[in-house]
Each structure stands twice: as structure tokens, then as C-alpha cells.
Amino acid sequence: ITRRESFNHLSRWLEEARQNGNPNMTIMLIGNKSDLEHRRAVSTKEGELFAQENGLVFLETSAKSAANVETAFIKTADNIYEKIKEGLYDPSREGNGVKLGVMAAAPK
């Protein structure tokens, strides 16, 4: 959210991702550095609008404070799960980017 230049390149990066990826892939637009509100160069509204116009999931996060980082992963996983339920992804097919399984949590 602190670099207008990065936001201005989103359309090109999104086009490249869509040309090279699965047509049904989930793409999340993350506005990072929400802890630096005083340096904001891109408004939340702009991020939301870009995401809405391009069919993306949007969230602002702070890697520094970990604000919304876990939520970003959960929203992405939820979106993928919905696509599986809708038949857009077949988890039994290799190469679709979805692998079924359970991983044990790392010991703490």
C-alpha cells in the first residue's frame, strides 16, 4: 500500500499470471504494509475496486505485525475449496495445483 508504482503494474502482472496459469486459479491481491498507514500511496478503496473488477480476492496485511496474514491464507483456501465444490478444480488430477492430504503440524 506504500508503493504506487507496484499498484500501477498490477494489470500487467495479472495478465502474465492468467496467460501462464490455470484459468480457474485463485489469485489474491494483498496490500501489504498496512502498519505504515502514514506512508499509504494506494487507498483501500482502490485495491478493493481493482480486485472486484478483476475477480480477485483482496485483503490488506502487515507482514511486520502479522495482521491479516493468516486470514489471507484462510481466504485463499476457502476460495479454492469453493472452486473444488463447483467442479472448477479436480483434486484427483495431477497438474491442477491442488493436492489433497493432511500434514501434521510442526512441533512447537
Q: How many CA atoms lie within 13 A of 28 on its CB side?
A: 18
Q: Is 30 exposed, middle or buried (0-12, 13-18, 19+ CB in 10 A)?
A: buried
Each residue's pLDDT tens digit, 47-80:
999 999 999 999 999 999 999 999 999 999 999 8
What pLDDT is recorded for position 1?
95
Domain 4-85 sits in CATH at 3.40.50.300
Contact yes or no for 35/64 (Cβ under 8 A): yes
- Rounded CA-CA distance 102/108 in Å is 18
The domain segmentation of the chain, as residue ranges, is: 4-85
What pLDDT is recorded for position 98?
57
pTM over 0.85: no
